[in-house]
């Protein structure tokens, strides 16, 4: 049976190793908490923009409907789509802007996550898989 005696340097190395692991774990926990908060804030921002996008789509629908059904009783239909006017163009431009902004925010969220992970690898002195 091997000798189970540990000298004081072995004990000190093991306690340093445990302490280092604890510190590393706490750093990772703090980084992940930061990421969860950032991701949550970005998700709220994206949801707000998606709601605004839906309201712009609805505005176009209302505009088209009002042009097709101009009668007071709402039953008389002209049967033709109204010409494009400034209100419709504004809604279309707003839709394109919101779609681009939502895509940008999603891509930015991914970029931020990758940057946080890269910084963690550097801060902790870990080997990167790249």
- Round to whole Å and give the CA distance between 36 and 51: 22
Within-domain flag for 8: no
Per residue in 45-66, pLDDT (tens digit) is 999 999 999 999 999 988 888 7
Domain coverage including residue 62: 19-121
Q: By mean pLDDT, which of 8-12, 13-17, 32-36, 117-121 is the weakest?
A: 8-12
For residue 10, being part of any structural domain is answered with no
pLDDT, greater one: 3 or 125: 125
Q: Are residues 95 and 59 in contact, defined by beta-carbon separation less than 8 angstroms?
A: no
Asked whether residue 83 is domain-assigned, the answer is yes
Torsion on CA atoms 103, 107, 109, 112, rounded to nearest 10 = -150
In contact, 98 and 49? CB cutoff 8 Å: yes
Q: Under 8 Å CB-to-CB from 45, ≥6 apart: which residues?
A: 105
Confidence band for 14, pLDDT divided at 50, 70 and 90 = low
pLDDT surpasses 80 at 88: yes
Residue 72 lies in a domain: yes
Residue 106 confidence (pLDDT): 96
pLDDT at 103 over 70: yes
Smallest CA-to-CA distance from 97 within 51, 61, 49, 39 is with 49
What total number of domains does the chain contain? 1
* Residue that wins the pLDDT comparison between 68 and 45: 45
pLDDT at 1: 47
Q: Does residue 126 belong to any structural domain of this protein?
A: no
Residue 102 belongs to a domain: yes
The verdict on residue 74 lying in a domain is: yes
Q: Is residue 6 part of a domain?
A: no
């Amino acid at each position: 049976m091997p000798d189970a005696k540990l000298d004081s340097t072995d004990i000190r190395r093991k306690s340093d190793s445990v302490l280092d692991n604890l510190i590393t774990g706490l750093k990772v926990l703090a980084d992940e908490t930061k990421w969860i908060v950032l991701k949550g804030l970005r998700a709220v921002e994206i949801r707000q923009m998606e709601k605004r996008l839906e309201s712009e789509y609805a505005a176009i629908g209302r505009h088209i409907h009002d042009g097709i059904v101009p009668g007071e009783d709402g039953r008389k239909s002209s049967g033709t789509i109204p010409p494009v006017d400034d209100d419709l163009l504004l809604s279309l431009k707003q839709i394109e802007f919101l779609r681009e902004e939502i895509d940008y925010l999603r891509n930015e969220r991914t970029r931020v996550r990758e940057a946080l992970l890269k910084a963690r690898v550097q801060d902790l002195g870990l080997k990167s898989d790249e």
